Amino acid sequence: MKYEVILIGGGPVGMMLAGELALAGIKVCVIERLKETTPYSRALTVHPRTLEILDMRGVKSKLISKGRLLSRGHFAGLETPLDFSVLDSSSNHTLFLPQSETEKVLEEWALSLGAEVRREVEALSVHQDEDGVDVKIAGPNGETTLRSAYVVGTDGARSLVRKHANISFEGTDATFTAILGDAVLSDLAPMSVISRITEKGLVSIMPINDHMYRVLIIDMERRNISKDETVTFEEFRSSIIRTTGSDLGLNDVKWMSRFGNATRQAGRYRNGRLFLAGDSAHIHFPAGGQGMNVGLQEAMNLGWKLAGAIKGWAPDWLLDSYHTERFPWNTALLRNTEVQTLLLDVTPPITELRSMLANLIQIPEANYQIAAQISAIDVHYAPDAEAPPHPLNGKRFKDLGLKLKDGQLINSYPFLHKGTFLLLHFHFNEQNSGQWETYSNLQVVHASLAEADADWNDVHTALIRPDGHIAWAISSSDPNPMQTINEGITRWCGNITD
Ligand SMILES: Cc1cc2nc3c(=O)[nH]c(=O)nc-3n(C[C@H](O)[C@H](O)[C@H](O)COP(=O)(O)OP(=O)(O)OC[C@H]3O[C@@H](n4cnc5c(N)ncnc54)[C@H](O)[C@@H]3O)c2cc1C
């Protein structure tokens, strides 16, 4: 087989997954029907947990150089913004950057690692058998069939892979639509922000750069129009006037779109050799700017597991854990977008509720809880049932400061750049006879904490998964740490050594 994995769809999620697989040495090909990255801004926010995972691969700094960091987010456009600066994270901010830019950076990253991207090629069908998957494609050279061990549908909301995998997509249809446009508004002072909800509807205006604004409107007069009806310049202008009182000097529109609040999720994310990730697995109203972020986090969850199955070191349960781990978080995501949608109403009780919630968010604990959810900093997975219990098991791994044997102070995320497991061993005088270093998918770091950390003070050794979650941590009081560590490594990293 020329390819081990074929990804159908080269949006942000496909490119991220292509990078993850290529990083793990997998022969991966992306099939994308578009000639080049879509120029539309769509996702404008890259949230804290996504920035963390991109930092783990050394990609965050490149993205940051192209956008603007903001310490604030929002929930349902409430008057009180969410304060991300209080999050216990080295990325306690969001990055404001058009999706087209994020996609370009991810594509360059994937290509630099050896992924192949075949553009202007459309996938027509997908058929799996016991040994692999056939993908029929059509491109400039006509039709042909490619074969690979696995296929992932990163092909968006209307996913062909989901249909051919016979996976349900249950949920609710849209009950209203909104419009958006990226436009020049010459009457606004540079970098103005407008967020307003009145009986005429909701309008949110954010600067994309010095001269272009993202305008999003739920116009009460137009909210029942079908998503498939094209937005005209006149309609867009009228809606701006209705909701703000003037056209704000609208004189150039780069892109206009209409979208609804249809909310659906795939019944499962895997059927045999076929997987789903990103919008192919879930759709929802883009409230709080979470869709792309969650898709990128899924790619991070799936990539190393798929690579492990192909390389032969992954235990049987690992591939299935992609669905088990991600599905409940995405169900919660759909619910939080539905709650936000309910709050986008102008009736007196909802207006009152908005005002109550805006007041509540001023309480630090309330802000923290919602900020942690929207930013995905709260995501954690079920603890390893066979490891001794520890509060860190399954939790997200933050960029812990380390002190190496030679006294050097260093952050831990750079140790995840290669996409391997990371064993943090805080007892460097102990003898391990070097047996851990023989694992090809494990990097061992002997260190101590750079500074005291309540969550980590008692940790003897921890195994960090390639996607930046803590597989297990064992406490210094463990009666037989060497045995616990060795068993834990074998359980997660397999028996394969170089
Ligand atoms: C107005 C709006 C604002 C948004 N704002 C945010 C935000 O601030 N933050 C956020 O996180 N998310 C946001 N989102 C959501 C975000 O845009 C999506 O979640 C994201 O694009 C999903 O990425 P994806 O790679 O899964 O799918 P897509 O971006 O849809 O990419 C799928 C790709 O597959 C290709 N494809 C499909 N079928 C085939 C085929 N048969 N053969 C070959 N190629 C195929 C398509 O051409 C496409 O390039 C917003 C969405 C909208 C509409």
Query: Where residue 238 sits, what CATH number does that domain have?
Result: 3.30.70.2450
Render pLDDT for 216-225 as a digit per residue (tens, 0 to 9). Answer: 999 999 999 9
As a whole number of angstroms, the distance between CA 490 and CA 485 comes to 9
**Domain stops at, among 260, 283, 306:** 260
Q: Whose CA is nearest to atom 45 of ligand 1?
A: 9
- CATH number of the domain that residue 130 is part of: 3.50.50.60
Residue 391 CA, ligand 1 centroid: distance in Å: 36
Same-domain status, 186 and 269 = no
Whether the per-residue pLDDT at 304 is higher than 80: the answer is yes
Amino acid 427: pLDDT: 86
Taking the C-alpha atoms of residue 443 and residue 419, their distance in angstroms, rounded to an integer, is: 10
The amino acid occupying position 118 is R
Quote the domain boundaries for residue 139: 5-44+98-173+263-344
Statement: residue 496 has pLDDT above 60 = no
Does the beta carbon of 393 lie inside 6 Å of ligand 1?
Answer: no
Q: How many CB atoms lie within 10 A of CB 143?
A: 10
Nearest CA to ligand 1 atom 5: 43
Distance 426 CA to ligand 1 centre (A): 42
State the Cα–Cα distance between residues 312 and 494, nearest whole angstrom.
8
Last residue of a domain, one of 260, 275, 298: 260
Quick: pLDDT tens for 393-416: 999 999 999 999 899 999 999 999
Q: Are residues 329 and 248 in the same domain?
A: no
Q: Are residues 226 and 192 in the same domain?
A: yes
Model confidence at 498: pLDDT above 60: no
Q: Is 42 in the pocket of ligand 1 (CB under 6 A)?
A: yes
Stretch 249-272: mean pLDDT: 96
Which CATH number belongs to the domain containing residue 428 in this structure? 3.40.30.120
The CB of 45 under 6 Å from ligand 1? The reply is yes
Arithmetic mean of pLDDT, 471-482: 96
CA–chain centroid gap for 173, Å, is 24
Q: Which of 187, 173, 172 is nearest to 250 (CA)?
A: 187
The residue from 260, 283, 299 where one domain ends is: 260
Quick one: tokens of 127? Answer: 């058929």
- Residue 195's pLDDT is 87
pLDDT at 438: 87
Inside any domain, residue 76: no
pLDDT of 321 reads 97
Reported as half-sphere exposure (CB side, CA atoms, 13 A), residue 5 has a value of 34
pLDDT confidence bin for 481, thresholds 50/70/90: very high
* The pLDDT value given to residue 279: 98
Does residue 255 sit in the same domain as residue 134? no
**pLDDT given for residue 211 in this prediction:** 80
Tokens for 264, please give them: 């659906």
Q: Is the residue at 349 inside a domain?
A: no
Radius of gyration for the chain, computed over Cα atoms and rounded to the nearest angstrom: 24
Q: What is the pLDDT of residues 349-378, one digit of tens each?
A: 999 999 999 999 999 999 999 999 999 999
pLDDT exceeds cutoff 70 at 155: yes
Provide the pLDDT confidence category of residue 497 given band limits of 50, 70 and 90: low
- Please give the distance, rounded to the nearest whole angstrom, from the Cα atom of residue 279 to the centre of ligand 1: 6
69 within a domain of the structure (yes/no): no
Nearest to 145 by CA among 127, 166, 164, 120: 127
- Mean pLDDT over 469-497 rounds to 91
Instruction: List the Cα angle 370/374/380 in 5-degree steps.
Output: 90
From the CA of 283, how far away is ligand 1's center (Å)? 10
**Domain check: are 245 and 268 in the same one?**
no
> 239 C-alpha to center of ligand 1: Å?
25
Residue 208 has, within 13 A of its CA and on its CB side, a CA count of: 23
Q: How far is the centre of ligand 1, averaged over its atoms, from the C-alpha of 42 (Å)?
A: 8
| CA–CA distance, 396 with 398 (Å, rounded to integer) | 6
Residues 314 and 454 in one domain: no
Residue 222 falls within a domain, yes or no? yes
Average pLDDT over residues 237-261: 95
> What are the Cα distances from residue 479, in Å, to 384, 455, 461?
19, 20, 13
Q: Are residues 477 and 439 in the same domain?
A: yes
Residue 17 pLDDT exceeds 70: yes
Evaluate whether residue 381 is within a structural domain: no
The region, left, alpha or beta by phi > 0 then psi within -120 to 50, assigned to residue 114 is left
Residue nearest to atom 2 of ligand 1 (CA): 42
- Mapping DSSP onto H, E and C, the string for the chain reads CCCCEEEECCCHHHHHHHHHHHHCCCCEEEEECCCCCCCCCCCCEECHHHHHHHHHCCCHHHHHCCCEEECEECCCCCCCCEEHHHCCCCCCCEEECCHHHHHHHHHHHHHHCCCEEEECCEEEEEEECCCCEEEEEEECCEEEEEEECEEEECCCCCCHHHHHCCCCEEEECCCCEEEEEEEEECCCCCCCCEEEEECCEEEEEEECCCCCEEEEEEECCCCCCCCCCCCCHHHHHHHHHHHHCCCCCEEEEEEEEEEECCEEEECCCEECCEEECHHHCEECCCCCCCHHHHHHHHHHHHHHHHHHHHHCCCCHHHHHHHHHHHHHHHHHHHHHHHHHHHCCCCCHHHHHHHHHHHHHCCCHHHHHHHHHHHHCCCCCCCCCCCCCCCCCCCCECCCCEEEECCCCEEECHHHHCCCCEEEEECCCCCCCCCCHHHECCEEEEEEEECCCCCCCCCEEEEEECCCCEEEEEEECCCCCHHHHHHHHHHHHHCCCEC
The model's pLDDT over 37-56, given as tens digits with 9 standing for 90+, comes to 988 888 999 999 999 999 99
- What spacing in Å lies between the alpha carbon of 10 and ligand 1's midpoint? 9
Residue pLDDT, tens place only, 114-139: 999 999 999 999 999 999 999 999 99
Q: Give the distance (Å) from ligand 1 centre to CA of residue 350.
A: 31
In a domain, 289, yes or no: yes
Residue 156 CA, ligand 1 centroid: distance in Å: 5
For residues 128 and 253, membership in a common domain is answered with no
* Number of structural domains found in the chain: 3
Q: Say yes or no: 111 and 214 in one domain.
A: no
Band of residue 19 on the pLDDT scale cut at 50, 70, 90? very high
Instruction: With respect to residue 461, please indicate whether it lies within any of the assigned structural domains.
Output: yes
Say yes or no to pLDDT of 247 above 90.
yes
pLDDT confidence band for 433 (50 / 70 / 90): low
Per-residue confidence (pLDDT) for residue 455, from 0 to 100: 97
pLDDT at 464 over 90: yes
Determine whether the shortest distance from the Cβ of 31 to ligand 1 is under 6 A.
yes
Give domain status of residue 85, yes or no: no
pLDDT for res 38? 85
- Lowest mean pLDDT, pick from 35-39, 65-69, 136-140, 466-470: 35-39
Give yes or no: residues 287 and 230 share one domain: no
Residue 205 to residue 71: CA distance in whole angstroms: 18
Position 249 pLDDT exceeds 60: yes
Order of strands, edge to edge, in the sheet holding 263-266? 169-172, 263-266, 282-283
Same domain membership, residue 415 and residue 489: yes
Average pLDDT, the chain: 95
Q: pLDDT at residue 150 above 60?
A: yes
Atom of ligand 1 nearest to the CA of 295: 26
pLDDT, mean of residues 236-261: 95
Q: Are residues 122 and 196 in the same domain?
A: no
Q: What is the Cα–Cα distance from 94 to 49, expressed in whole angstroms?
A: 9
Nearest CA to ligand 1 atom 30: 156
Model confidence at 432: pLDDT above 90: no
Please state the atom number of ligand 1 nearest to the C-alpha of residue 277.
Answer: 26
Pocket test for ligand 1, best of 29, 31, 33 (most atoms within 8 A of CB): 33
Separation of alpha carbons 273 and 470, rounded Å: 27
Residue 437: per-residue pLDDT: 85
Q: How far is CA 387 from the centre of its chain?
A: 28
